[in-house]
Amino acid sequence: MNIFPIILMTVFAGWAVSATAVSVVYARRLHHERAAHGEAQERNGRYRAALRRAEEKAAAVAVQFEALQRENAGLRQAMEDSQARPAERPLPTVMIDCLDLSGEIGTLFEHVARVATAIRDHSAYTRGHYGPEHNKARYDLLWLSDCLHTFDRLGRALAAGSQRSLAEACQELLGMYDAYLVDSSGYDSRDTFQRLSARVPLAGVSDAIRSIAMKTAAPPEGPVPGSGLAPGQSGGLALPAAPVAGVRA
């Protein structure tokens, strides 16, 4: 029997098996390459979307930057215009019975702003809702608010134009502010205002209140004892009366 057909069939069978194995390997590689190509395309799509968002954001930032540049130019022009104006002559803006109290009232407003800032720094919002509270915060809040709660008497006296009420209110405030620095009770206002002396100094506001009290103090009634002179008169040479602050001679 001739074995050539058997050998030929064996060769063909081997070739078929090899071709099948090679085709399976290439098919798997092609599948992996297609999957990688799909992932790359998806990744490129995400990158393109991110790039579009970045370009849109950059365009919005550029628009905001141009608006800020225009606003900055306007502010610079306004500042240059204000600097080019002649200096404004200070005029008394708060007067009561021809007494100029502008400087003192301005100092009181500054004091109110400093106290309000100190009170805000003790709030739960500033320290965080769960932040630790200073062990003396409750006493600080007590005395900071206490040093303002009688300012209503000053306001009513100014609104009414009463020198007597204004002087009484100033005397009450002076007594309170002097007591703050000597009190060493359980609530210890002295400790509070000594620790906060850099942020809420009492010396300047006390001087302003004392100045208002001196300006609004009532003159003594009746003749000066032992001089035989009426109030407002003095012995010796007659001197011209000093002009009242805020009023032109």
- Taking only the tens place, the pLDDT of each residue in 37-63 is 888 888 898 999 999 999 999 999 999
Please report the pLDDT score of residue 170 as a whole number.
92
* Structure tokens given for 206: 């006390």
Domain boundaries in the chain?
9-84, 95-215
Residue 104 C-beta-side C-alpha neighbours within 13 Å: 22
Identify the three-state secondary structure at position 99: strand
131-188, pLDDT tens digit by residue? 677 788 888 999 999 999 889 998 888 888 888 888 899 999 999 999 998 876 667 8
Separation between Cα atoms, residue 84 and residue 77, nearest integer Å: 10
User: What pTM was computed for the model?
Assistant: 0.51
Residue with tokens 């000053």: 154
Map tokens 């630790």 to a residue: 132
Which CATH fold would you assign to the domain 95-215? Butyryl-CoA Dehydrogenase, subunit A; domain 3 (1.20.140)
